[in-house]
Amino acid sequence: MSKEQTIKQTFQAATERYAALGVDVNKVLGELKKISLSIHCWQADDVTGYENLGGTLTGGIQVTGNYQGKAGTIDELRRDILKATSCVAGSHRLSLHEIYGDFQGKKVDRDEVEPAHFASWIQWAKENGMKLDFNSTSFSHPKSGDLTLSNPDDDIRNFWIEHTKRCRWISDEMGKAQNDPCMMNLWIHDGSKEVPANRLKYRRILEQSLNEIFSTEYKNMCDCIEAKLFGIGLESYTVGSYDFYLGYGIKKGKIVTLDTGHFHLTESVADKLSSLLLFTPEIMLHVSRPVRWDSDHVVILNDDLSDLAREIIRCEALDKVHIGLDYFDATINRIGAYVIGCRAVQKSLLLAMLEPSSLLQQYEAEGKYFQRLALQEELKSMPWPAVWDMFCLQNDVPIGNDYIEEIEQYEKDVTDKR
């Protein structure tokens, strides 16, 4: 039997098993295809960017590894992204950082950047059926230090305010061009290695900076503010903590970004969604994977990811939750890293969508807790991989581990020659 025939046959059997629980597998396949991920551009080049200012990566984040073939130019990055997305079903967004502007070899400082520096990206995205999201960049710059928007020094603070304002302007232009709001993420690394003498001082300054930055209204972009627990070298205090941004987001109606690597390791990020959905406009996710001190390992299908996807689906919040990715690993093939992460997120969503939620909720409403637990347990061994294979087959992307060979071929033909 051909591979295709086997997949079709096992899919048929799986469809019947799920139908018995009231789940329409074909409907799920159609819905899964419509979910766009916001793929981060910075896995392709270890968060270096093309700014021509010669900075090294700072801001409490670190990339380890030196795997051959990182994207050294915008053209290489674009090619790598297209290779990665060719192994992922559906159409997706690309999330750019300001340092990835098309500066044409010129030194353009962060307080000088304009939409024109992203014109070629907008064009490229259009040609390739992608939409863009955006991020201001506080790190890897001589003025980054430990404090940017929360800096008591007016010159430095105003420099970063100007930068962030310009990033919102660029985002709005991107949103306008693609006829769909551009999600702009604001993450700054501000913090300190040791406990500061006055925690309130910097948070108060950050609040004022944000108020100034957000004083311009835009129609084609959405502001997202990203919290963090700690940075490398900034372990004792983070100005933009979760409490800070949650409070700010609720007060000002801004979207809070939940990076799954930015919480205590035993804290459930999935559990936060249902609360945020009640009090903030939407949710931005940075799907990542924390391992001990690192918050940015390649995303894989683990319990944390499954819990997160299940919450999105159980809350019926697909139209309110933006699923961005955020990780960087330079120890393995970088394009392969993209494919692993994107496919893991899709698998987690598929698993969540295959859940017979009305039956589970019915058990719960009737106080049938044994039945609820038993069904949740049995769902773990339902034949979802057969549905996943069919999803890949229908969307003409590599099936199962076939993408390993594709990535190896690309490595041979393209990235090894860099």
Positions in the binding site for ligand RNT (CB under 6 A) = 42, 47, 61, 135, 187, 226, 228, 259, 286, 295, 326
Q: Which does 207 bind (CB under 5 to 8 A by kind): Zn ion, ligand RNT, none?
A: none
Compare residues 341 and 398 and give the one whose CB is closer to ligand RNT.
341
- Give the separation between CA 322 and CA 187, rounded to whole angstroms: 16
Q: Which of 92, 97, 141, 286 is catalytic?
A: 286
Q: What is the 3-state secondary structure (H, E, C) of 331-355?
A: CCCHHHHHHHHHHHHHHHHHHHHCC
Q: Is 319 a catalytic residue?
A: no
Q: Which does 295 bind (CB under 5 to 8 A by kind): ligand RNT, Zn ion, none?
A: ligand RNT
Q: Is 187 a catalytic residue?
A: yes
Minimum gap (Å) between residue 285 Cβ and ligand RNT: 11
Minimum gap (Å) between residue 209 Cβ and ligand RNT: 18
Q: Which of 163, 228, 254, 347 is catalytic?
A: 228
Q: Which of 160, 187, 384, 388 is catalytic?
A: 187
Minimum gap (Å) between residue 5 Cβ and ligand RNT: 44
Phi-psi region of 145 (alpha: psi -120 to 50; beta: other; left: phi over 0): left
Minimum gap (Å) between residue 214 Cβ and ligand RNT: 19
* CA dihedral of 208, 143, 108, 48, whole degrees rounded to 10: -110
Phi-psi region of 184 (alpha: psi -120 to 50; beta: other; left: phi over 0): beta
* CA dihedral of 11, 377, 22, 308, whole degrees rounded to 10: -90
Q: Which does 38 bind (CB under 5 to 8 A by kind): ligand RNT, Zn ion, none?
A: none
Q: Is 388 a catalytic residue?
A: no
Q: Is 228 a catalytic residue?
A: yes
Q: Which does 338 bind (CB under 5 to 8 A by kind): Zn ion, ligand RNT, none?
A: none
Compare residues 51 and 259 and give the one whose CB is closer to Zn ion.
259
Compare residues 69 and 231 and give the one whose CB is closer to Zn ion.
231
Minimum gap (Å) between residue 189 Cβ and ligand RNT: 7
User: Which residues would be at the binding site for Zn ion (CB under 5 A)?
Assistant: 259, 286, 326
- From residue 15, alpha-carbon distances to 11, 33, 132 in Å are 6, 17, 36
Q: Which of 259, 311, 329, 411 is catalytic?
A: 259
Minimum gap (Å) between residue 103 Cβ and ligand RNT: 18
Q: Is 286 a catalytic residue?
A: yes
Minimum gap (Å) between residue 287 Cβ and ligand RNT: 11
Q: Is 223 a catalytic residue?
A: no
- From residue 62, alpha-carbon distances to 232, 321, 329 in Å are 8, 27, 10
Compare residues 185 and 209 and give the one whose CB is closer to Zn ion.
185
Minimum gap (Å) between residue 193 Cβ and ligand RNT: 16
In which residue are the tokens 């035993």 written?
Answer: 266
Q: Is 368 a catalytic residue?
A: no
Q: Is 46 a catalytic residue?
A: no
| 234 phi, psi to nearest 5 deg | -130, 55
- From residue 390, alpha-carbon distances to 133, 273, 329 in Å are 30, 30, 29
Collapsed DSSP state (helix, strand, coil) of residue 248: helix
Q: Which of 45, 190, 207, 294 is catalytic?
A: 294
Structure tokens at 3: 């591979």
Smallest CA-to-CA distance from 225 within 259, 178, 199, 200 is with 259
Compare residues 60 and 69 and give the one whose CB is closer to Zn ion.
60
- Give the separation between CA 263 and CA 366, rounded to whole angstroms: 35
Compare residues 11 and 100 and give the one whose CB is closer to ligand RNT.
100
Does residue 81 contact residue 45 with C-beta atoms inside 8 Å?
no
Smallest CA-to-CA distance from 170 within 225, 240, 121 is with 121
Label residues 408-417 b or e (16+ Cβ within 10 Å = b).
Answer: eebbeeebee
**Cross-strand bridge partners of residue 184:** 134, 223
**In the chain, what is the straight-line distance between the N-terminal and C-terminal CA atoms, in Å?**
41
Compare residues 60 and 398 and give the one whose CB is closer to ligand RNT.
60
- Give the separation between CA 259 and CA 236, rounded to whole angstroms: 19
Q: Is 378 a catalytic residue?
A: no
Compare residues 236 and 361 and give the one whose CB is closer to ligand RNT.
236
- Residues known to be catalytic: 187, 226, 228, 259, 262, 286, 294, 296, 326
